[in-house]
Amino acid sequence: MAKVAEATGRQAASFVFGCVAALTVVLLLQHRPDELSRPTPVQFLGWGGRNRNGTSSPAAGQVIMAAGEEADRANVTKQPDTTTTTTTANDLSLRASGDRDEEAAEKEFPGLAAVVERVASPDDRTVIITCVNHAWAAPGSLLDLFLESFRIGDGIAHLLDHVLIVAMDPSAMARCRAVHRHCYLYTMPGIDFTSTRFFLSKEYLELVWSKLRLQRRVLQLGYNFLFTDVDIMWFRNPFKHVTVYADMTISSDVFFGDPDNINNFPNTGFFHVRPNNRTIAMTRIWHEARSRFPGMNEQPVFNAIKKGFVKDLALRVQYLDPAYMGGFCSHGKDLDKVCTMHANCCIGLGNKLKDLRSVLDDWKKYTRMPHWAKHAAKWTVPGACIH
């Protein structure tokens, strides 16, 4: 009987131990860190915006926000905690500092919040941004080619409803209002942006770095943006190639075949950014790094410090394949794939205009070809820019 009792006791103890172990596992699973429970996002934005009649445009993929992104976005405009009953002097100091920062931002960008709200896609709060000065906005110049590319592109004319053209001088603003619905004037005291500026001149550097401050302000307001240089022709919807995983998706001058390879060479003339604390910090650090790299524009500076963003901010960066987002530096040969074409690796407004008109002509010829012959379509070598 003693042996039977002993065996029964061991079975009871084993049963109790098993129940405790199972309960522990359940509790651990329920309270595991968010990073471990976060699914790997593989969806694409596929953003189509809305047509002029207000109806939703078809998209390649559903807009699905990665786990944790709602919290990131909420933190961008997070309000002070009002649940506590005690306010310290430090709390008041921080709040006053935040108010001063907001006042300074509104002073530098008056009315920008209302403009962006009007232009952004209502589906996912995304705005497409480009910048022009008088020389680029003049009749027959880059702005006209840019807008024409949307109109002759493959079902992307409706995206113009969400394009914000930032004019860097009053002349460019007047021209913008004559040809487009959404314009914003952003000038800097003492800086004249009206004429064509030579690459890396003082005025050129001020122009390209000032864009970064405006982009940061858009993120602070809680909007996604896709920045595009005005010398980029749009032919298909590039949002189909922007994954919800990435904080920043950027085009590439040198692409090694892997979109996650941080060693790809970036091109900051075309990039998409999502609003969260990581990207706002990134744009601030990026702009502050200008003083460490005197005489450089924003692109090589980003390339020099990009690994720090990934390491220190956990910034998620992905690169776009030039087969889809191409440029004169590097582009795919298949016109069935191309979404955009950039007149990079090219100096001089006249050279850009000549070769971009050839790009538009190539696209028009391609669209007129019968389906069975389109595989043979080729780009004209940009003879003015590359010679």
State residue 210's pLDDT score.
85
d(CA 260, CA 253): 15
Confidence at residue 115, expressed as pLDDT on a 0 to 100 scale: 97
Q: What share of the chain in percent tops pLDDT 70?
A: 70
Q: Tokens 């391609």 identify what position?
A: 366
CATH class label, 69-75+92-344: alpha beta
Q: What is the pLDDT of residue 110?
A: 93
Exposed / middle / buried, residue 204 (Cβ in 10 Å: 0-12, 13-18, 19+)? middle
58-67, 328-337, 358-367, range with greatest mean pLDDT: 358-367
Beta-bridge partner residues of 283: none
pLDDT at 295: 83
Percent of the chain whose predicted confidence (pLDDT) is above 90: 59
When mean pLDDT is compared over 26-30, 95-99, 100-104, the highest value belongs to 100-104
Where in the chain are the domains?
Answer: 69-75+92-344
Kindly report the backbone phi and psi dihedral angles of residue 76, in degrees, each rounded to the nearest multiple of 5, phi listed first.
-60, -40
For 72-84, letters b (16+ CB in 10 Å) and e give bbeebeeeeeeee
What integer pLDDT is reported at residue 194 of this predicted model?
58
Q: What is the mean pLDDT of residues 91-98?
A: 46
Question: Tell me, what DSSP letter sits at residue 52?
Answer: T
What DSSP character marks residue 50?
A: B
Q: Is the pLDDT of residue 36 over 50?
A: no
87: its two tokens: 């306010």
Q: What is the mean pLDDT of the chain?
A: 80
Residue 64, pLDDT score: 31
Does the pLDDT value for residue 350 go beyond 70? yes
Structure confidence at residue 32 (pLDDT) = 39
Say what the pLDDT of residue 156 is. 98
How many Cβ atoms are within 10 Å of 254's Cβ, its own excluded? 13
